[in-house]
């Protein structure tokens, strides 16, 4: 069996992955706060852990992996948006409006992440469905002396957990020395963090032993991971920015609440995303969502491919140039997949496996970049089976690639014995195809005239016009081919009429 090796943030080492129970490998990944469309940075951990999920399913069997990713639907930004809508006259209670907002955001999230080829996790719990468990856990922490209630708040007593700071390599004393946070006066220790806080009149809240309130951010993941995966599970993932304080606090809560378990055995953190060399931020004006890219016509497969080009523990720079390269490669792959079926070996697409070297690349701490290198080689060598298996493992669907990326080609060919036209059309309208064929005929006849007269002016004029419309023009002894490229604009083509 393939041994998966993963860099464990907990030990700062690359380790052999040994599941607690190979018949039920369990992974928890911190999901989004559902207050708005997912931005591109949100998508990186989704693709990273989707890749790991697919690898785990490959190695242990699809039925033996449980992947949980939460939706954080308790949040000040959600409340603020709901309140804004209420004040703008939307009907319904504040709770209704909050629910409406989170439902709509979750639907967007699903649509956007589906477009990236990410499998849905086995479970996607929402914080609001686990408030009871959070309260029970908080009560337990108070009872065992790890937390204290004060002024409607419940705070975790950081000093009560000796390993606090171990995951992120920080000491409580150092952090206090360098702290820039304003400290609430009722905290015993400046680093103590909130498990429960009171809700004011217009904020959503739940009844609790400490009055009407809502949970702190960190407790939800501890409570849901415990409920769905148990006291100990295998992998906990998320973005590097969550390592501190979020994951540190999760560990502290869980370890103290469930002293017999040891929470997550392997912690994985993906590095952050940049855009054209800079941090993506609203203030720099380089902030965009996954939906923005999709709407610009950049397919999800391109986004996924660009992500996979960079190792997950390196910062990834999103650039237009990378998107261009990724798209060019996907087009080549699609053209190859779309080539004459008779030249390709017959395989059952749904069962073909990736070559071992691709599995090995992923098993070596998710070396997706190396996996893509292998993939390019299969393309170059025309190894249909290896390519198909690799695409599947990496989360690309051959049929979708063909529809989105395979070239439409209108081709006129002639030789001594035959001449004719062939059209292969995917994803273009009938009208566009017809115009393309018309232009092809026109170009072909102009060209034969020019070949005799040696006056190529008319041919070149038509050729330039086609190129301007984003259509690649290929002329050879065998005939003429028109291939709409990435910049193809049907409107410009039609204007040539």
Partner RNA sequence: GGCGGGUUGGCGGAGAGGUUACGCAGCGGAUUGCAAAUCCGUGAAGACCGGUUCGAUUCCGGUACCCGCCUCCA
Residues within window 159-218 making contact with RNA, judged by CB under 7 A: 168-171, 174-175, 177-181, 194, 197, 216-217
Distances 485 to 52, 162, 327, 346, 429 between C-alpha atoms, Å: 33, 61, 11, 29, 15
**Residue 6, exposed/middle/buried by CB under 10 A (0-12, 13-18, 19+)?**
buried
Nearer to RNA, 178 or 420 (CB): 178
Does 116 interact with RNA (rule: CB under 7 A)? no
Count of helix runs (H) and strand runs (E) in the chain: 17, 17
Does 19 interact with RNA (rule: CB under 7 A)? no
CA 390 to chain centre: 18
Angle at 460 between CA 459 and CA 466, to 5 degrees: 95
Does 452 interact with RNA (rule: CB under 7 A)? no
Nearer to RNA, 33 or 66 (CB): 33
Cβ atoms of 28 and 288 closer than 8 Å = no
Nearer to RNA, 60 or 444 (CB): 444
Structure tokens at 105: 């955001």
Q: What's the DSSP call for residue 31?
A: -
* Count, residues near RNA per rule CB under 7 A: 78
Does 493 interact with RNA (rule: CB under 7 A)? no
Does 476 interact with RNA (rule: CB under 7 A)? yes
Other beta carbons within 10 angstroms of residue 339's beta carbon come to 14
By CB under 7 A, the residues from 310 to 349 that bind RNA are 310-311, 313-317, 321-322, 325, 328-329, 332
Cβ atoms of 401 and 391 closer than 8 Å = yes
Residue 66 backbone dihedrals phi, psi, to 5 degrees: -115, 120
Please identify which residue in 30, 330, 436, 469 interacts with RNA, judged by CB under 7 A.
Answer: 30
By CB under 7 A, the residues from 365 to 394 that bind RNA are 367, 369-370, 373, 376-377, 380
Q: Which stretch binds RNA (CB under 7 A): 63-71, 105-113, 226-234, 451-459?
A: 451-459
Please identify which residue in 293, 473, 482, 493 interacts with RNA, judged by CB under 7 A.
Answer: 473
By CB under 7 A, the residues from 129 to 148 that bind RNA are none
CA 254 to chain centre: 27
The DSSP-derived string for 459-481 is: HHHHHHHHHHTTEEEEEETTEEE
Residue 226 CB, nearest approach to RNA (Å) = 18
Nearer to RNA, 319 or 425 (CB): 319
By CB under 7 A, the residues from 271 to 290 that bind RNA are 271-274, 278-280
Nearer to RNA, 3 or 429 (CB): 3
Residue 350 CB, nearest approach to RNA (Å) = 28
Does 270 interact with RNA (rule: CB under 7 A)? yes
3-class secondary-structure state, position 308: helix
Cβ atoms of 483 and 409 closer than 8 Å = yes
Q: Which stretch binds RNA (CB under 7 A): 58-66, 101-109, 225-233, 243-251?
A: 243-251
Nearer to RNA, 111 or 309 (CB): 309
């Amino acid at each position: 069996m393939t041994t998966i090796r993963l860099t464990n943030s907990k030990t700062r080492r690359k380790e052999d992955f040994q599941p607690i129970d190979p018949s039920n490998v369990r992974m928890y990944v911190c999901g989004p706060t559902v207050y708005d469309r997912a931005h591109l940075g949100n998508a990186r951990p989704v693709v990273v852990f989707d890749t790991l999920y697919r690898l785990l399913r490959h190695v242990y069997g699809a039925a033996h992996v449980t992947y949980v990713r939460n939706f954080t639907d308790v949040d000040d930004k959600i409340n603020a948006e709901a309140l804004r809508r209420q004040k703008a006259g939307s009907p319904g209670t504040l709770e209704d409006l909050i629910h409406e907002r989170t439902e709509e955001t979750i639907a967007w999230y699903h649509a956007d992440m589906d477009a990236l080829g990410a499998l849905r996790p086995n479970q996607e719990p929402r914080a609001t469905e686990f408030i009871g468990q959070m309260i029970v856990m908080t009560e337990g922490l108070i009872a065992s002396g790890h937390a204290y209630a004060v002024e409607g708040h419940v705070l975790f007593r950081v000093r009560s957990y000796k390993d606090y700071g171990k995951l992120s390599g920080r000491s409580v004393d150092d952090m206090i020395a360098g702290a820039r946070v304003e400290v609430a006066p009722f905290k015993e220790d400046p680093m103590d963090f909130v498990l429960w806080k009171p809700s004011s009149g217009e904020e959503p809240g739940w009844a609790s032993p400490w009055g009407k309130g809502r949970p702190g951010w960190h407790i939800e993941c501890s409570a849901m991971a415990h409920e769905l995966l148990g006291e100990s599970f295998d992998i906990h993932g998320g973005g590097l920015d969550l390592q501190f304080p979020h994951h540190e606090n999760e560990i502290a809560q869980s370890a103290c609440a469930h002293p017999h378990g040891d929470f997550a055995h392997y912690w994985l953190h993906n590095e952050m995303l940049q855009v054209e060399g800079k941090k993506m931020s609203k203030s720099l004006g380089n902030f965009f969502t996954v939906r923005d890219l999709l709407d610009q016509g950049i397919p999800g497969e391109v986004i996924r491919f660009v992500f996979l080009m960079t190792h997950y523990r390196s910062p990834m720079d999103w650039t237009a140039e990378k998107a261009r390269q990724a798209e060019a490669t996907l087009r080549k792959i699609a053209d190859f997949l779309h080539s004459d079926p008779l030249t390709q070996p017959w395989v059952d697409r749904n069962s073909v496996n990736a070559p071992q070297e691709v599995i090995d690349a992923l098993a070596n701490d998710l070396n997706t970049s190396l996996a893509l290198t292998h993939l390019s080689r299969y393309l170059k060598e025309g190894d249909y089976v290896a390519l198909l298996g690799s695409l599947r493992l990496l989360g690309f669907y051959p049929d979708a690639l063909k529809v989105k990326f395979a070239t439409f080609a209108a081709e006129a060919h002639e030789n001594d014995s035959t001449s004719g036209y062939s059209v292969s059309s995917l994803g273009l309208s009938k009208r566009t195809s017809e115009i393309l064929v018309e232009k092809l005929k026109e170009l072909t006849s102009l060209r034969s005239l020019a070949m005799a007269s040696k006056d190529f002016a008319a041919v070149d004029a038509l050729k330039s016009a086609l190129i301007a419309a984003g259509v690649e023009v290929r002329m050879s002894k065998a005939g003429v081919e028109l291939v709409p490229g990435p910049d193809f604009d049907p409107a410009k083509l039609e204007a040539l009429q």
